[in-house]
Amino acid sequence: MNSYILKNARVIDPGRNIDTKGDIGVDQDGRFAEPAALAGAQVIDLEGKVVAPGFIDVHVHLRHPGNTLAETIATGTAAAAAGGFTSIVAMPNTKPAADTVGSIELFHRLVSQDAVVRVLPCGCMTVGLAGEEMAPIGSLKSAGVVALSDDGKCIQDHALMRRIVEYAKAFELPIMDHCEEYKLAEGGVMHEGKWSVLLGMNGIPAAAEEIIIARNIIFARQIDWKIHMQHVSTAGSVKLLRAARAEGVKVTGEATPHHLTLTDECIKKFDTNYKMNPPLRSEEDRLALIEGVADDTITVIATDHAPHTRTAKEVEFDYAPCGIIGLETAFSVCYTELVKKGVISLPRLIGKMTTGPADVLGIKAYDMAPGKAADFVVLDPEAAYVIDKNTFKSKSRNTPFDGREVCGKVMMTAVGGKIVHQA
């Protein structure tokens, strides 16, 4: 690799509280370096652009192994690179599930062959994601998992969940939990509220999420360990998190671009690309999420990238699988909704996609200091465009944002100094 200098850019580095115009150097070993030390380096003029640390997504479904018709490690990581993500955490609900050392080793081999960004495996909390027996947490840690989750499912046995949090603390693995009380959510296909009544569809009440978030807060307080709430979606959940964090409890929450921008009213189109779990909530819930992002109750923006084939989604709404893809649209959608509308600044948005996720994973000092691996993204904040799903790197096309006008575009992504995406 040849050394190069990113010149005349706006450098935003939340980890070092930097927001200034300047130059960034990358040496031949793929590490950040002082530009003055790189004699004869190639110069890349980025006037009018922003350079920031590469984004981290703590919530990605790669479907590989198990459902390579929907996504593969190759296509999923290409999509991540196109979205500015240099590290992603792969959820464990693959086939086989990531609940043994063997499955983690298989995953590592597949990643080493096909991935263009860093892929961090997440291990199961329970064997087979069945919610009945604790997975071998110590062995999973030794195999290289960075967190534990049964994402897509939620442990209903509170005594089992307590033991898992205790073991997770012993092995210093954060818990990332899909919060859903099954009996309350049973049979629901959308948010329980005005629109479920008008459309005559079974609803999922906000309480189904909030009860589990309250449980997790109790355990995080009691055991003094980190529990991260995945895809927070209700006003009540935000309120619970806000109070717990003010108390110093080790809980964090993430919001998805779709929950920040869409509501249950979208379901009136009966388009299955608006079906996800947790479901799109009311406008009141959406505004509460935005308030949570603004006051740092919500510290992480994650995509919950969930690819499905066209065949799987083109069925009646009740029978369609939940989930949408989001890696390639996350920054643009959030920049348009949050920064352009004055909710938060661009540096704070970048922080929720870099230092916020890094903190959940226990990654210290995630920044662009000299000597660190050169994982970075180049952004054009003023680039306006229309999202076109047919240009996606992802193997799937299940997005509700197709045709949406947005502002802010990922122009370049590099991992270890190697450019893996260029617009």
Instruction: Concatenate the DSSP letters of all residues of 326-347 into one string.
Output: -TTTHHHHHIIIIITTTSS-HH
Residues 141 and 21 both lie in one domain: no
Give me the mean pLDDT over the 284-294 stretch. Answer: 98
- Quick one: residue 316, left, alpha or beta (phi over 0 = left, psi -120 to 50 = alpha)? beta
pLDDT band at 62 (very low <50, low <70, confident <90, very high): very high
**Residue 395, domain member (yes or no):** no
Domain housing 79 = 51-361
DSSP code for 153: S
Say yes or no: 8 and 95 in one domain.
no
% pLDDT > 70, the chain: 100
Is the separation of the CB atoms in 403 and 386 below 8 Å? Answer: yes
Please enumerate in sequence order all residues whose Cβ is within 8 A of that of 343, keeping only pairs 6 or more positions apart, or say none: 290, 293, 294, 337
Q: Give the Cα separation of 49 and 69 in Å (integer).
A: 36
Residues 76 and 210 in one domain: yes
H/E stretch holding 53 reads strand 50-53
Residues composing the chain: 423
pLDDT at 419 over 90: yes
Dihedral sign for Cα 184, 185, 188, 190, please.
Answer: positive
Question: Which of these, 101, 121, 278, lies nearest to 188 by C-alpha position?
Answer: 278
Q: Does residue 366 belong to any structural domain of this protein?
A: no
The residue to which tokens 């992504």 are assigned: 413
Residues 208-232, mean pLDDT to the nearest whole number:
98
Q: Are 236 and 259 in contact (CB under 8 A)?
A: no
Task: Say what the pLDDT of residue 378 is.
Answer: 98
Scan for tokens 């200098």, then name that residue.
5
Rounded alpha-carbon distances, angstroms, from residue 205 to 187, 188, 234: 11, 8, 10
Q: Dihedral angle at the C-alpha atoms of 65, 274, 342, 290, nearest 10 degrees? A: -80
Q: Is residue 107 part of a domain?
A: yes
Decide: 340 and 407 in contact? Cβ < 8 Å.
yes
Same domain, 40 and 60: no
Burial of 31 (0-12, 13-18, 19+ CB in 10 A): middle
The answer to whether 25 touches 35, Cβ cutoff 8 Å, is yes
- Give the whole-number percent of the chain exceeding pLDDT 90: 100
Q: Is residue 264 part of a domain?
A: yes
Residues whose CB is less than 8 angstroms from the CB of residue 166 and which lie 6 or more positions away in sequence, other chains included: 223, 225
Catalytic residue, candidates 177, 304, 359, 380: 304
Angle at 372 between CA 366 and CA 375, to 5 degrees: 70
Integer Cα distance of 263 and 337 in angstroms = 14
Given a cut of 90, is residue 19 above it in pLDDT?
yes
**Tokens (6 digits) for 189:** 């296909």
Tell me, what CATH number does 247's domain have? 3.20.20.140
Kindly write down the DSSP assignment for every residue of 228-274, as one continuous string: EEPS---HHHHHHHHHHHHHT-SEEEEE-HHHHH--GGGGGG--GGG
214 in any annotated domain? yes
For 282, the 3-state DSSP assignment is: coil
**What is residue 1's predicted lDDT score, i.e. its pLDDT?**
84
Q: At residue 171, does pLDDT exceed 90?
A: yes
Beta-sheet pairing, 50-53 with 376-386: antiparallel
Same domain assignment for residues 271 and 323: yes
Residue 272 shares a structural domain with residue 380: no
Q: Do 219 and 291 belong together in one domain?
A: yes
Mark whether 331 and 415 lie in a shared domain.
no
Q: Shortest CA distance to 302 belongs to which of 362, 359, 251, 231? A: 231
Three-state SS for 92? coil
Check residue 297 and report its DSSP letter.
S
Is 111 a residue whose pLDDT tops 90? yes
Residues 342 and 415 in one domain: no
224 is catalytic: no
Residue 38 sits in a domain of what CATH number?
Answer: 2.30.40.10
- Same-domain status, 98 and 236: yes
CA distance 380 to 335: 11
Q: Are residues 81 and 188 in the same domain?
A: yes
Position 213 in a domain: yes
Q: Number of structural domains, the chain?
A: 2
Encode pLDDT of 133-170 as tens digits. Answer: 999 999 999 999 999 999 999 999 999 999 999 999 99
Statement to judge: residues 269 and 332 lie in one domain: yes
Does 204 map to a domain? Answer: yes
